[in-house]
Amino acid sequence: MEYQPFIIAMFHVALLSFFLGVGKLIRLRFQILQYLLLPAAAIGGIVAILVSPFTWANYLTFPQIIQDIYGNFGEISIFLLNFVFAGMFIGRKIPNPRRSFRKAGPQIIHGQLLSWGQLMLPSLAMILIINRFYDLPDAFGTLIPIGFDGGATVAVGYTSTFKELGWYPEGVQLGIAAGVMGIIGGCILGVGIINWLVRRDQTKIADKPEDIPDYIRRGLYREEDFESAGNLTTVPQAIEPIALVFCLFGVTMFGGWGFITALGMIPGGIGQFFSFAPLFPFAMLCGMLLQGIISKLGYGHIVDRGLTKRLQNLALEFCILSVFASLDIPLVLQSSIPMALIIAAGIIWTLFIALSVAPLIMPDYWAERMLVDYGQAMGNVPIGMLLLRIVDPQFETPVLEHFSYRHAFHAPIMFSLLAFMPIVAQMWGIEFIFLLSLGVIILNCILAKMLGYWGQGRSLVSRLARAAKQKGERFSLFV
């Protein structure tokens, strides 16, 4: 049966909406998911995977329209990803770089160590182990920061890159798998870390695990805690405020496309290098430029950040769902052992830096700062914000402000650099990626020492021992 294009488009939206609603209902029904704090989009995405024609292709025959819809989810997620990144700085006051570094310097260093280590340790695992037994492209060693720090949604943004490198759809699918594991692991391990730290008096607001508000676990605000979604800054009869924001998103994406297209037309190796790059980091940079221009012209107050976030988060919800739904489990399982190795390497490094470096370089609110950085490094900003909200429900600490400064510095630099890591790996080898990431880590450690960050806090063991002494208890690391 032939379906008109708008009917097919309606089926896509309806199916994604259905999975999102099912995800929310499942979270409300099962308390274990509330304690693990898995987002409804991730739960709905897992349901989408379980009923996917990709998952059951060898056992069941699905109607052609269902196969076509699932086959299109990857392309839909690419558009939504570019849309999300286009709004990263729309409506936001572009912070002064010097003030940002002064306020959030330790967190910026912490974030750099987390991200570059997610390149270094998997690269080392690939050099020492994986390359001896498996024939995989060097770009394989770059998948963890793409999936973890970037998030499952970012992996689909590398579709054009992996196509040019001749590693499609395997590269994209493995990147999505890394992102899915990052979201799940970030929530599960993050909740475990929170319970462990709260019991040892390392958080300022939450006194014990039971203090985590029930409305946060269930994901439903109490009526008295309802928050405003944004402000109307234009007269709706002239132009709907959210339509104005939507226009800015569109201009930003078009600008990013024009920028990367122009760079790709440069003759020689430079043009070829940029022709491999994904669109989303350039859309983000164009959004920053557009917001700067609007502010310089004196119209920055018209673009409401609340409405921008609602539009951006709506796209993110459906982007997560479509990314999960596009995951081809049988294809991922073909590389399950090397994938497990680099995922384990990424998790080990992230936990190590979060629990060893953060308490040393952050003098105040170290646990809250570490948690938001850890969550962002495992599953991007939504997971980081989720973990922070558990220990600081009303954002009473200055951690959210510091994180916004940190991310304003981290996102343009790290996402722009990550866009080229698979290309660099293929051109110069995984050994170069290892040496590059090791060098950047050493440089950040030296910078932390020079700026006086290193040692302005105390080691985790020292902090735990002091907390136990104040409570009159015998110090124990694990009990």
Q: Is residue 475 part of a domain?
A: no
DSSP code string of 233-274: -S-TTT--HHHHHHHHHHHHHHHHHHHHHHHHTSSSHHHHHH
Split into its structural domains, the chain has a count of 1
Q: What 3 state SS string does 453-478 have?
A: CCCCCCCHHHHHHHHHHHCCCCCCCC
Within a domain: 82: yes
The answer to whether the beta carbons of residues 444 and 109 sit under 8 Å apart is: yes
CB contact at 8 A, 101 and 409: yes
> From CA 263, how far away is CA 274, in angstroms rounded?
6
Residue 445 maps to a domain: yes
Q: Is residue 477 part of a domain?
A: no
The pLDDT value recorded for residue 374 is 93
On whether the CB atoms of residues 118 and 141 are closer than 8 A, the answer is: no
Which residues, including other chains, have CB under 8 Å from residue 376's CB and lie 6 or more apart?
A: 111, 149, 383, 384, 403, 407
Q: Specify if 479 maps to a domain.
A: no
Q: How far apart are CA 206 and CA 214, in angstroms?
A: 13
Per-residue pLDDT of the chain (479 residues; tens, 9 = 90+): 566 777 778 888 899 999 999 999 999 888 888 877 788 888 999 999 999 998 998 888 888 888 888 888 888 888 888 888 888 888 887 767 777 777 788 999 999 999 999 999 999 999 999 999 999 999 999 999 988 987 777 777 788 788 888 888 888 899 989 988 998 888 889 888 988 888 888 888 765 556 666 777 777 777 777 778 888 888 888 899 899 999 999 999 999 889 888 887 887 767 766 766 677 778 888 988 999 899 889 888 888 888 998 998 888 889 888 988 888 899 999 999 999 999 999 999 999 999 999 999 988 889 999 999 999 899 877 788 778 878 887 777 888 778 877 877 787 778 778 878 998 998 899 999 999 999 999 999 999 999 999 888 888 888 878 877 777 666 565 55
DSSP type of residue 334: T
Please report the DSSP string for 37-91 in residue order: T--HHHHHHHHHHHT-TTTTTTT----HHHHHHHHHHHHHHHHHHHHHHHTSSTT
Residue 425: predicted pLDDT: 92
Enter the pTM of the model: 0.82
At residue 273, the pLDDT reads: 64
Find out whether 398 and 100 touch, Cβ atoms under 8 Å: no
Domain that holds residue 256: 5-217+231-470
How far lies 42's CA from each of 35, 185, 321, in Å? Answer: 15, 12, 7
- The secondary structure of 221-232 as a DSSP string is --GGG-------
User: What pLDDT was estimated at residue 275?
Assistant: 66
Please check whether residue 226 lies inside any domain of the structure: no
State residue 194 phi and psi, 5-degree precision.
Answer: -60, -50
Cis peptide before 169 (omega within 30 of 0): yes
Cα separation, 288 vs 6, in Å, equals 34
Please give the pLDDT value at position 206.
Answer: 66
Residue 289 placed within a domain: yes
* Contacts with 96 (C-beta within 8 Å, 6 or more apart), sequence order: none
Q: What is the pLDDT of residue 355?
A: 93
Task: Look at residue 272 in the predicted model and tell me its pLDDT.
Answer: 66
User: Is 347 domain-assigned?
Assistant: yes
* Size of the chain in residues: 479
Q: How far apart are CA 169 and CA 271, in angstroms?
A: 24
Please, which residues have CB within 8 angstroms of residue 351's CB and are 6 or more apart in sequence? 189, 374
Euclidean distance between the first and the last CA atom of the chain, given in angstroms as a whole number: 63
